[in-house]
Amino acid sequence: MRGQGRRAGRARALRGALSAAWECAFLAGQRLFRASVGGFPRCHGDGARLVLVPLGLPRAAAMSSLARPEPARPLALAPGLAPSRSPSWAASRSPSRRAGADWRRDSSAARAAGAEVGAGQDIQLQSLDLNRIIKLLEESNSNNLEEKQLQILQKVVTHFENGLPLKDLAEIFKILNLCAEKIQDREAFIEPTCEILKICGLPFLKNKLSDEINYTKTVSESIAQLGYLMRVPSSQVRIQICKCIISFYDAKPPRKQLSGYQRTVANYKIQMAELGGLAETLVLSLALVENQLAEKLWVLKALQHLSSSGVNCKLMMKAQAASRICSHLNDVDPSGQLLFRSSEILWNLLENTPQEEIVNQLSNLECIYALKEVFMNLLMHGFRHYDRQLRNDLLVIATLIAENLEAPMIESGFTKQLILLATFSEVKIYNHLSRGFKFTYSYEDFEMKKLLFNIVAVLAKDLCAVQLLSEGKVILALFYYVKPNEKPGVHDWSAAQYEELQLHAIATLASVAPLLIDDYMTCQGNTRLLMFLEWCVGQDPFFGQGNSFHGTGGRGNKLSQMRYSLRVLRPVVSLCDNAVNLDLCDQGAISQLLDLLKYAANISKEKEDAIILEIQTDILLILSIVCENDLHRKELFGCEGVDILIPLLKMDPKKFYSGLGHNRLLFSTLDCLWCCVMGCYIAEDYFLEKEGIFLLLDLLALKQKNMCNLILGILVEFCDNHKTASHINTWRGHKDQTAASLLIQLWRQEEKELGVKQDSNGKIIDPKKPLVTSFQKQQGVMPMSANCPSIAILEVSENMRAKIYSLLYKIGFENLPGLSAKDFVTLAIIRRYLDFKVGEVWNEVLAELKEEEFRPVTPDQEALKVISEVTESVGKMVAALQTEMLESHQHQELQEEEKIYTKIQAIHKQKEMVNKSWENFLTRTSNYEALKKAKRLQEKSVEASRSKSRSQNATTHSTEVKGLNTTVASGRLVTVESTPSQLTGGPLADTDLSLGKISVRGGALKKIKGVKVLDPFKKDSVSIK
């Protein structure tokens, strides 16, 4: 307790001495103060002088001054590497340096005293008049005033050693700008400036929760001043500025907590730096530290932190950061930090900004030369794991630059070196690389080998690099991997690595081989690929690893190798080079490809995936290209190929949208059908026998817009075979739809999409232009040369109408089954399609002549007039025929309607008669007089119906039942005279009344106990006991 009291007493004495010194300094300098300068200045420098830029000045003007490089100064070392000052230098210090040393001693003592007082407890932040300090610092320089100013700065540092309140931030940065201005002449101000910058690295303090929002503009502008302070010609200040910026991302809170204040959130400074554009200013300051390695490393470290944000990366991109940093990659740096931090910044820029813009900034000779030099240096002399990783990172950046065709990769010589490096281990060509480089089969070298294959594929996109690819024997080097791995060993790539390199090389070959077709033939590319494909379907005990991107789906099989081999073969045959395709077919490629199709089809029965579908698609496309326009090759395709195509045409339509590639497979199947079957009568007849036309019409009935045109073209070509028409007419679709009805529906759907004007019934509205589409009307008349097709001609190939007309023309317009009246109306237009199209072309000719104000000779003009009139008359005739069809159909519908109504009336009349009979029955039942009247009428009718002439000897039996007043005809009644009435119970004993459960005494209704009914349905059968 006694020791603590002594320390507290010393602290109170020290604070009293500092307060007295402050009052003396203030009273002495008050008479010398000038008027206060308004505004918040920004600090800039130009060489040895410093410029104050008010806040109102545009940023572009301020940054233009920052972009001017500073004259070279002796290289300054980073903190910790700087040598200590010698005694002779310390003895010759100027008064300002001595004052600075005194300031450091006093400041250290004050901080130590403050630490003794406030350690482990909250302290109260006393008020400090910063405006008076600013006025004191604005005074003219003198030795006495300088000491006072340093003492004041010492008080500021001590006062804010635990952090800067947001409300005082503007004044603090004014003080910083004034100190920066004095540093040019007084080096003693360097130390207080650095101390204040250290305090700026601490978390800012807020008094209210709303301070962070209320002081947003002030804080962002203040933090932006850090970038402008880089103009200060002091290595120590610049490094401290960078440390301050770095502390935004890893700030250490002070040991003491000020009472009434809280620290701002952790990322508050980062957000304000983004808002103030600090990153852009710091990039421009790189021009000031080009010749100072230590300062440059600190700036790059700060930019590395800032580039982790997308907002900062966009600001850096605006300041051409990629070009500025890449052009200095090869600067001397024994520590290697410059290359590491620069590459990290470039990667962040590529990831967080539009890649095209960054690549454009890097696509200049200066950047590419620097990148090339650094890459080759790491390649030849790098031996560490870190060096190899950095080398591969630079190679990826070079690949991105090579994708820009305008980048001077060839002019810089980088392209040639990369090609030689890619083929170095496969092709034994003497070059400078063979003396100083060797693959070590490490993982980094494995990655570099894949990157080199990738950059070869990228370079192949530039036709100017094709000659270099040929000179580097790239085709021969890539074909080195088109073979099984025969000798996997310890001193070579592992089996998994070789497989990945193999697939990558074959994928690269697919991009390069079509460009170097002569080298491809020299290396016997067709033979190598066919042999490799034969190995892919063989029984070789090979199991793919399937670990790489190119090996997807190839685990435990050779499907990946087959897939990429076909990718090489497809673009090669697509060149339609007769020598290449002839060489391919002479080696039995057609039969081998058909065997591959069967192999893939068998696998797809078990499991369908994208790789199997892609393999089938590529094989079909290769066969289409090879067999087109060659009858002998079509015969080789023959019936065996048709048997493969038929199951593919039966594909479930639900699979078209599976995303696996069924739609592409179907298109390639149709293309193969057109190119490999059409024109070969044997294959055509076999296709018809297999009901192939029915399958095509089933696909056409799906009305898939992207597929109908192709199917119609195939059907039109098939109609050259006389057997096809009967197959088309026999086909029936959904709800017994015929092929003719389907084609007419497709015509109407096509004209609706084209915007052809017709009424609701499909009739022609404009007889002069019955086929003109809405697009043709919008385009109007455009005069063209004689060798250019007009819009009316181009329209024929762009829609299905011409193919539908051709198909209906070949199967005939007469006796088409299953057509409605509306179909017949549309058929009238289709039948005259060719006439309308010819008239449309002549109308275009006439319109072009009028547009060009050209008058033809009289005979030609009369001919044009006649043609126009004939076209219009044909249109009117078709319109009249359509009207007649509709009227006839309407009359027929009326007749059918009358027949239906007649049937309805007959049905209703019968119902009326039934109702009337029922009413009469109810009347007779409820009214006894009506019943008797009806009975008399019935008896008269019966009597009138009897014959008048009777035989003399005939016996007449009466059928009437006496005393029964019913109008219902009674059943048969026979009276047996020989049987006593006691046994029969009277004349009605055998009726329904005699079987009732109610016993009625007397008369004919008396029930006899001896009568037993055997069958309720046979009422005449009784048993008598």
Lowest mean pLDDT among 69-78, 331-340, 550-559: 69-78
**CA-to-CA distance for 875 and 765, rounded, in angstroms?**
9
- Averaged pLDDT, 855-880: 88
Q: Measuring CA to CA, how many Å separate 995 from each of 989, 1000, 1011?
A: 8, 11, 9
Closest by alpha carbon to 309, among 358, 348, 355?
348
Contact present, 320 and 361 (Cβ < 8 Å): yes
Give residue 936's pLDDT band: very low, low, confident or very high (50, 70, 90).
confident
Whether 26 shows a pLDDT value over 50: the answer reads: no
Residue 853 CA, distance from chain mean position: 51
In this prediction, residue 807 carries a pLDDT of: 93
Tracing tokens 């038929």 back to the chain, one arrives at 646
Contacts 24+ apart (CB under 8 A), 710-713: 710/667, 710/670, 710/671, 710/674, 711/670, 712/800, 712/803, 712/804, 712/807, 713/674, 713/803
**Backbone phi, then psi, for 954, in 5-degree steps?**
-75, 145
**CA-to-CA distance for 626 and 628, rounded, in angstroms?**
6
The torsion of the CA quartet 1001, 1002, 1004, 1005, rounded to 10 degrees, works out to -10
How is residue 402 written in tokens?
Answer: 């090579």
Give residue 1003's pLDDT band: very low, low, confident or very high (50, 70, 90).
very low
> Other C-beta atoms within 10 Å of 908: how many?
9
Q: CB under 8 Å to 233, separation ≥6 — which residues?
A: 45, 47, 48, 70, 73, 183, 184
**Backbone phi, then psi, for 164, in 5-degree steps?**
-100, 125
| Choice between 61 and 960, residue whose per-residue pLDDT is larger | 960
Q: Helix and strand tally (H, E) in the chain?
A: 47, 6
CA atoms within 13 A on the CB side of 809: 16
Whether 426 shows a pLDDT value over 70: the answer reads: yes
- Averaged pLDDT, 134-152: 78
In this prediction, residue 180 carries a pLDDT of: 85
Contact present, 391 and 375 (Cβ < 8 Å): yes
Whether 592 shows a pLDDT value over 90: the answer reads: yes
Contact present, 78 and 294 (Cβ < 8 Å): yes
pLDDT per position as a tens digit, 479-490: 999 988 876 655
- Averaged pLDDT, 703-717: 91
pLDDT per position as a tens digit, 217-243: 999 999 998 999 998 888 999 999 999
Q: What is the pTM of this model?
A: 0.72
| Choice between 296 and 105, residue whose per-residue pLDDT is larger | 296
Lowest mean pLDDT among 182-196, 340-354, 443-457, 963-977: 963-977
- Averaged pLDDT, 251-270: 80
How is residue 762 written in tokens?
Answer: 């499909």
**Structural Rg of the chain based on CA atoms:** 52
Average pLDDT, the chain: 79
Buried/exposed 916-933: b ≥16 CB within 10 Å, e otherwise: eeeeeeeebeeeeeebee
Q: Measuring CA to CA, how many Å separate 936 from each of 94, 503, 749, 832, 921?
A: 159, 112, 75, 79, 15
Contact present, 1004 and 986 (Cβ < 8 Å): yes
In this prediction, residue 40 carries a pLDDT of: 34
Q: DSSP labels for 701-717?
A: HTT-HHHHHHHHHHHHH
How is residue 993 written in tokens?
Answer: 């009344």
In this prediction, residue 117 carries a pLDDT of: 37
- Averaged pLDDT, 427-433: 70
**Backbone phi, then psi, for 758, in 5-degree steps?**
-150, 160
Q: Which amino acid is at 741?
A: S
**CA-to-CA distance for 774 and 757, rounded, in angstroms?**
8
| Choice between 687 and 35, residue whose per-residue pLDDT is larger | 687
pLDDT per position as a tens digit, 639-675: 999 999 999 999 988 888 888 889 999 999 999 999 9
| Choice between 852 and 56, residue whose per-residue pLDDT is larger | 852
pLDDT per position as a tens digit, 170-223: 888 898 888 888 887 788 888 888 988 888 888 888 888 888 899 999 999 999
Contact present, 883 and 763 (Cβ < 8 Å): yes
Instruction: List, in sequence order, the alpha helices (H) in 819-857.
Output: 821-831, 833-851
Strand-pairing partners, residue 42, are 53
**CA-to-CA distance for 801 and 771, rounded, in angstroms?**
10
